Amino acid sequence: MLAADIGHLRTGVSHAFTSSLVPEIVANFTRRHPGISLLIINTSGPAIRNGVASGRFDLGLSYAETGAREVDLETLLDDELVIVCPSGHAFAGRGPIRFDDLQGESLILPDIDCTSRRRLDQVLDEREVNPRIMLEINDMHTILETVRRGPYASIMGRRTVIATEGIEMIPLIEPSVTMPIAMVWPSGNSRTSAMVGFRTFMLQIDQLRSHPGGRPG
């Protein structure tokens, strides 16, 4: 067994990824690195950065956000904000939706603790667009299930949405909003082989999605 396959990782992971990336991490990382004990704590981006800085977490995974202190951020994956709506919604079956089309639209959104929500609010303010916020919650499973039952849409990162019957995902443009996903490292501390192994795994996760056996080509 390689050195990278041995160790223990306490990992803070954003609430945004509970429906999508976390199941892939659990299924594939543990298969590829059976000697690494993995503890995943789902929490907010600020709590992840604070947890890594204080030593509570060995590393973290969250949307990148400017102004982070006492930690190092390394962008690993790209994401973007998209519309998520039930099949019977007025947006369903249409092409890309412009931000201006959201004026007065009833939405279900992650709460303000989520980095994606803060970025969304920034763009809405810049465009002077005011949707109606019907529900705020940080549980992605609940948001997706509520959207599926209708009648409201949501705005989420494309990578946070899993394929679900009765839900459509539509590009959001003018502007398109990118949301880089970053590894949160302790600043100035040495990185164990297990931490480096986790980074390598995350860089390959799109390939692993295409190779369910956990071995990208």
What is d(CA 131, CA 82) in angstroms, rounded to the nearest whole number? 15
Question: Dihedral of the CA atoms 76, 186, 45, 167 (nearest 10)?
Answer: 30
Q: 48-74, pLDDT tens digit by residue? A: 999 999 999 999 999 998 766 789 999
Tell me the two tokens of residue 46.
């600020």
* Spatial distance between the Cα atoms of 118 and 123, rounded to a whole number of angstroms: 9
With a pLDDT cut of 90, the percent of the chain lying above it is 64
Q: How confident is the model at residue 202 (pLDDT cuts 50, 70, 90)?
A: very high
Q: Give the bridge partners for 74, in sequence order.
A: 183
Tell me, what's the pLDDT at 19? Answer: 85
Residue of 61, 9, 57, 12 lying closest to 37 (CA atoms) = 9
Span 38-48, average pLDDT: 92
Percent of the chain with pLDDT over 70: 92
DSSP letter at 96 equals P
- The pLDDT value recorded for residue 31 is 87
- Residue 214 has a pLDDT of 44
Give CA–CA dist 143/136, Å, rounded.
Answer: 9
Structural Rg of the chain based on CA atoms: 18
Place of tokens 């490292």: 185
